[in-house]
Structure 1
Amino acid sequence: MEAIFQAQAKFRLDRGLTKVKAIRNQNYKRHGTKSYVYLLNRFGFEPTKPGPYYQQHRIRQRGLAHPDFHAPVGGRVHHTKHLHKKVNKHGAPDATGTETGEVGAEDQQNDSEYLCEVTIGTPGQTLLLDFDTGSSDLWVFSTELSKTIQKGHSVFQPTSSSTFKKLPNQAWQISYGDGSSASGDCGSDNVTIGGLTIKNQTVELASKLAQQFAQGTGDGLLGLAWPAINTVATNGKSTPANTPVANMITQDDIPSDAELFTAAFYSERDANAQSFYTFGYIDTDLVSSSGQDIAWTDIDNSQGFWMFPSTSTSVNGKAISQSGNSAIADTGTTLALVSDEVCEALYNAIPGATYDDQQQGYVFPQSTDVSSLPEFKVSVGDTQFVIQPEDLAFAPADDNNWYGGIQSRGTNPFDILGDVFLKSIYAIFDQGNQRFGAVPKIQASQNLSSSAQ
């Protein structure tokens, strides 16, 4: 490994590469239930615990309308899921509500906790993008959007870039279970990340954005998952575009022993630490300071995610075997979602913790002392990592309780390990070798009450 580190250091020096600062979004406000509803919408799983929000199945049939009852007859029948909420007589979400409401932007956490500077075009135009290992589109606010939606954002102007090229007949669309979508057309241009320039990178220009997307602080998204789940289509046929990292590899922008990127996230409690990404090299100081070798595990990218085996968990040293279990590392998710069995074991070990139907999540008293929180570990391959106890308190649930950072994955077939987990490790996404690596990155003891910030 030492020889690889040396080669990466030389590459970094020769190319003048820099860390990409993951800037804390000052407008981001944590909200437990809204973050959970966002994940219900994004991944489309069924909740297995009670609450206002649920998936409603619909049957759609393609065919010709019958003249007598104006409905399609024949053709293919397929099922779709649509996110709904139970509401009370005032229209507010209510687990015991008898009426049904549509889920809108106000129900979900649509802002990003971290944003990164990316330069697009010649001369370069700087935008703040959400780096997301759970998706594969690079889309930006563009001059094709209405002036109202552009307001408050840095907007990419294709006509101001001498290297921009229109990609005829190419379009993109991201859709979610609440009916919201983002869509537009495509071009290619130079994209610079951390001093590394990718030429002819497909850039998806937003021409339509639902309120869910428009109300965020960032200027778009940069997907870091695998190209297979990119949404670009040519003349209506799926033709996934390469992600920036995939293009770094295919265009030989980075050497064979540096076909990776890394992520280091810190809490707002870590006043002197700066969250960052690197592209083309590993921060050896963080690896050395961990006192451990990098724990590597092969990933399964068949679904487009950074998915790896995660077959063991422990609460205060008591093991919970999860034979065959998998997890994804997702920088686009704030919470960590695990099985109901694991959730129950964790919150049973926190005095006063309970499940709150109205908030659709586990909560525990704000009076809880950090020292009384359990040691909670999840595995990356064969190695277990502690989730920093302070991060078990995600956000105030009410005046007296925290909304837990670990919640139920419902019927989702794999764990979703977002920032609550990633803040405790230095994550290495080795795309060239199709593996994921980690070392612990636990900070000194911190004040639990500052989680509210």
Structure 2
Amino acid sequence: MTNNPAPEKLAATSKQATASEPLTDFEDLWFGTITVGTPPQTLTVDFDTGISDTFLPVVGCDATCAGHTLYNPAASSTAINTSDSFSLQLHAGEGDTTGSVFMDTVTIVGLTAQDQAVGMNFATPSTSDYPAGLWDNVADIGSELSLGSVNTALFTGEFRNVLPIKEVFYALNLQALHANNEVIATANGVTAIIDTGSTLLLGDEVSVKMLYSAIPGAKDASAVLGPGFFTVPCNRIPTVGITLGNQLFNVAPDIFNLEVLLEGTADCVGSVVSQDDIPFWVLGEIFLRNFYTVFNQGSARVGFATP
């Protein structure tokens, strides 16, 4: 994020409140609804933990906002124009966005944050609206969104907790990469961002190449699929793992396998992709689908349990 970041929140939701709501999986992004303003305006949004600020397309947005629900601050009696501007650099090649900062009332699953900083953007960079900074006021996400509680029917065993090195982006210390339970590379000090707004596992070019070089039959597929993609034999899909907080977290082979490269071939597309223009790893849906995940703002930790 550059230039003028959104102001800090002025009022937080009660820690005692709890609520939950199913989310809709659309093209590997998790969508739900929030309301903004007084009277409330209902918006369909993508809950993205990889972006730390709340920003929404606003009335007057250009043609890139076609199909989006648009927030109208002029129709809200609680909207306050701070006269600040913002500029966000988004992850994974989604582009940048700029706009103005307003304060308004935001409600999610019945829980309300007063005076929430909301960025009004006039050109949306991708296919979704982002209420991500709202996590500072009401926080927790999963395939079912639960605020202030967990659904014990959806996981077994205990949570394995990892302490973030940066709470804003749920950034964790990535310590090692594994293939079929063998350590491939140690990477202590590398940042890994838990990102519900990304599909793949994205990493630096050197580490990703090292990972695939340890997988028998893996091939560079950049000429067919684009830079950073690799394939693995369909009959020997590996178990890929990542060490976080001195604990190994594995990606199941059926989740690691994106699809058959071409019909009739024996090569399948791997979900770990290199992207050399980002200085961190992005642990997207391919990682999160293996776990019931809790983002604990109060205790500053991320917990993973078996679904």
> 1:312 is paired with a residue of what secondary structure?
strand
1:315 and 2:179 equivalent? yes
1:364–1:431: structure 2 CA closer, same or farther, 3 Å change rule? Answer: same
Q: Spell out the pairing of 1:325-336 with structure 2 (5 A cutoff).
A: 325-326=189-190, 327-336=192-201
1:307–1:175: structure 2 CA closer, same or farther, 3 Å change rule? Answer: closer
> 2:141 is paired with a residue of what secondary structure?
strand
1:163 and 2:78 equivalent? yes
Structure 1 contact 346–374 (Cα < 8 Å) conserved: no
Structure 1 contact 313–384 (Cα < 8 Å) conserved: no
Of the structure 1 ranges 376-385 and 191-200, higher mean CA displacement relative to structure 2 is found in 376-385
Measured against aligned partners, the alpha-carbon deviations of 1:382-433 in whole angstroms (never above 9, x if no partner) come to 2212202112222554444433101235475543211111110112212222
- Structure 1 residue 343, shift from structure 2 partner: 4.6
1:247 and 2:137 equivalent? yes
Q: Name the structure 2 match of 1:182.
A: 97
Number of aligned residues = 286
1:436–1:387: structure 2 CA closer, same or farther, 3 Å change rule? Answer: same
1:183–1:145: structure 2 CA closer, same or farther, 3 Å change rule? Answer: same
Q: Name the structure 1 match of 2:45.
A: 129
1:172 and 2:62 equivalent? no
Q: Name the structure 2 match of 1:421.
A: 287
Measure the CA separation in 2 of the matches of 1:332 and 1:115.
Answer: 10
- Structure 1 residue 23, shift from structure 2 partner: 1.0
> 1:285 is paired with a residue of what secondary structure?
helix
Q: Name the structure 2 match of 1:381.
A: 245
Structure 1 contact 134–332 (Cα < 8 Å) conserved: yes
Letter of the 1:335 counterpart: L
Calculate percent identity across the aligned residue pairs: 24
Q: Name the structure 1 match of 2:130.
A: 221
1:357 and 2:229 equivalent? no
Q: Name the structure 2 match of 1:95.
A: none
Q: Name the structure 2 match of 1:142.
A: 58
Q: Name the structure 1 match of 2:25.
A: 24
Letter of the 1:319 counterpart: V
Q: Name the structure 2 match of 1:440.
A: 306
Measure the CA separation in 1 of the matches of 2:207 and 2:95.
Answer: 32
Q: Name the structure 1 match of 2:4.
A: none
Measured against aligned partners, the alpha-carbon deviations of 1:52-90 in whole angstroms (never above 9, x if no partner) come to xxxxxxxxxxxxxxxxxxxxxxxxxxxxxxxxxxxxxxx
1:117–1:160: structure 2 CA closer, same or farther, 3 Å change rule? Answer: same
- Structure 1 residue 198, shift from structure 2 partner: 0.6
1:142–1:342: structure 2 CA closer, same or farther, 3 Å change rule? Answer: closer
Measure the CA separation in 2 of the matches of 1:21 and 1:179.
Answer: 26
1:320–1:396: structure 2 CA closer, same or farther, 3 Å change rule? Answer: closer
- Structure 1 residue 313, shift from structure 2 partner: 3.4
- Structure 1 residue 300, shift from structure 2 partner: 0.8
1:179–1:346: structure 2 CA closer, same or farther, 3 Å change rule? Answer: closer
TM-score, with length taken from structure 2: 0.81
Choose which of 172, 192, 200 in structure 1 pairs with 2:115: 200
Choose which of 36, 41, 46 in structure 2 pairs with 1:120: 36
- Structure 1 residue 179, shift from structure 2 partner: 11
Q: Name the structure 1 match of 2:10.
A: none
More helix by share: 1
Measure the CA separation in 2 of the matches of 1:151 and 1:409.
Answer: 29
TM-score, with length taken from structure 1: 0.57
Measure the CA separation in 2 of the matches of 1:150 and 1:204.
Answer: 15
Measure the CA separation in 2 of the matches of 1:149 and 1:414.
Answer: 28
Structure 2 contact 19–149 (Cα < 8 Å) conserved: no
1:170–1:338: structure 2 CA closer, same or farther, 3 Å change rule? Answer: closer
1:143–1:412: structure 2 CA closer, same or farther, 3 Å change rule? Answer: closer
Which segments of 5 or more consecutive residues in structure 2 lack a partner in the other structure? 1-13
Measure the CA separation in 2 of the matches of 1:300 and 1:284.
Answer: 27
Measure the CA separation in 2 of the matches of 1:120 and 1:20.
Answer: 17
Measure the CA separation in 1 of the matches of 2:80 and 2:290.
Answer: 41
Which segments of 5 or more consecutive residues in structure 1 lack a partner in the other structure? 1-10, 29-111, 224-242, 249-259, 264-274, 442-453
Q: Name the structure 2 match of 1:61.
A: none
- Structure 1 residue 316, shift from structure 2 partner: 2.0
Structure 1 contact 186–204 (Cα < 8 Å) conserved: yes
Measure the CA separation in 1 of the matches of 2:278 and 2:56.
Answer: 29
Letter of the 2:137 counterpart: N
Q: Which has the higher contact order (CA 8 A, sep 6+)?
A: 2
Of the structure 1 ranges 177-186 and 112-121, higher mean CA displacement relative to structure 2 is found in 177-186
Structure 1 contact 311–322 (Cα < 8 Å) conserved: yes
> 2:137 is paired with a residue of what secondary structure?
helix
- Structure 1 residue 362, shift from structure 2 partner: 0.4
- Structure 1 residue 277, shift from structure 2 partner: 2.2
> 2:154 is paired with a residue of what secondary structure?
helix
Structure 2 contact 36–42 (Cα < 8 Å) conserved: yes
Measure the CA separation in 2 of the matches of 1:149 and 1:179.
Answer: 13
